[in-house]
Amino acid sequence: MSPSPLMALFSREIRVARRLGSGSTMGIIFFLILVTIVPFAIGPDLILLSRIGPAILWIAALLATLLGLDRLFQADHEDGSLDLMLTSDTPLELIVLVKCLAHWVVTGLPLVIAAPLFGLMLALDPQALWAVTLSLLAGTPALALLGAIGAALTVTLRRGGLLMAILILPLAIPVLIFGVSAASASLSATTPFWPPFLILCALTLATLAAAPFAVAAALRHMSE
């Protein structure tokens, strides 16, 4: 029984990522380097680091996500697979969703798994580690989808990485705000975890619903 086109696309994405190198290892290494240079800039004061640790981890995750995004559509655009996707019977929005999901599994999920380890380096207590990991788990899919909008708008550009970052970062600010708010929750009893975390989940769900349409429209218009 042949798999559905979307399942086949998902396994193709995973297979290509594993064989050609997905940048997931480099993403984790970049994450690590960002977490490393922050104490050089701020100083080794562990109390200060544990206070801003969740924010550092979130900013590092956001920047690492930005780095990996040019792999999302560029390779397909260059070898013609994007034209096949544009003209296929399967709705382009679903194709985009599957590609973003595969991209998140390959680049975003490793960041989530690595976050508690790097959080230990920033002297976060166990409750904060949980909060950071859960908030990243809920927020990195939104970052991947928003990043896909920027990647689709700059798909034809050779060196569109910086422009893509400029386009994506304003859109990612709400996710960052609620993600850091949820991640910083346990540091004091006055900052709750669940309200910002639930709003973060709502943002991810809304992005899940709306971004594929924007990405598909951008791919159709920008790759003519």
Partner 1 sequence: MWKYANPTFFLPLVAKLLPWLTGATVIAFAIGIWGAFFSAPADYQQGETVRIMYIHVPAAWLSMFCYATMTASALGTLVWRHPLADAAQKAAAPIGAAFTFICLVTGSLWGKPMWGTWWVWDARLTSVLVLFVIYLGLIALWQTIEDPGRAARGAAILTLVGVVNLPIIKFSVDWGSI
Shortest distance, CB of residue 119 to partner 1, whole angstroms? 23
Shortest distance, CB of residue 72 to partner 1, whole angstroms? 16
- Nearer of residues 68 and 150 to partner 1, judged by Cβ: 150
Shortest distance, CB of residue 214 to partner 1, whole angstroms? 5
Transcribe 58-102 into DSSP letters: HHHHHHHHHHHGGGTTHHHHHHTHHHHHHTSSS-HHHHHHHHHHH
In the complex, the residues that contact partner 1 under the rule CB under 8 A are: 149, 153-154, 156-157, 160, 163, 166-167, 169-171, 173, 177, 214, 217-218, 221-222, 224
Shortest distance, CB of residue 177 to partner 1, whole angstroms? 5
User: CA-to-CA distance for 94 and 21, rounded, in angstroms?
Assistant: 24
User: CA-to-CA distance for 211 and 224, rounded, in angstroms?
Assistant: 20
Tokens of 218: 């951008």
Torsion of CA 39, 162, 170, 42, to 10 degrees: 10
Quick one: residue 88, left, alpha or beta (phi over 0 = left, psi -120 to 50 = alpha)? Answer: beta
DSSP structural state of residue 189:
T
- Nearer of residues 54 and 110 to partner 1, judged by Cβ: 54
Shortest distance, CB of residue 17 to partner 1, whole angstroms? 27
Shortest distance, CB of residue 122 to partner 1, whole angstroms? 22
**Spatial CB neighbours of 2, under 8 Å, sequence gap ≥ 6:** 8
Shortest distance, CB of residue 174 to partner 1, whole angstroms? 8
- Nearer of residues 137 and 148 to partner 1, judged by Cβ: 148
- Nearer of residues 116 and 161 to partner 1, judged by Cβ: 161
Q: Quote the radius of gyration of the chain (alpha carbons, Å).
A: 18
Q: Which residue shows structure tokens 């050609």?
A: 20
Which ranges in the chain belong to alpha helices (H)?
5-20, 24-42, 46-68, 74-79, 81-86, 92-103, 109-121, 126-153, 161-183, 194-222
DSSP structural state of residue 113:
H
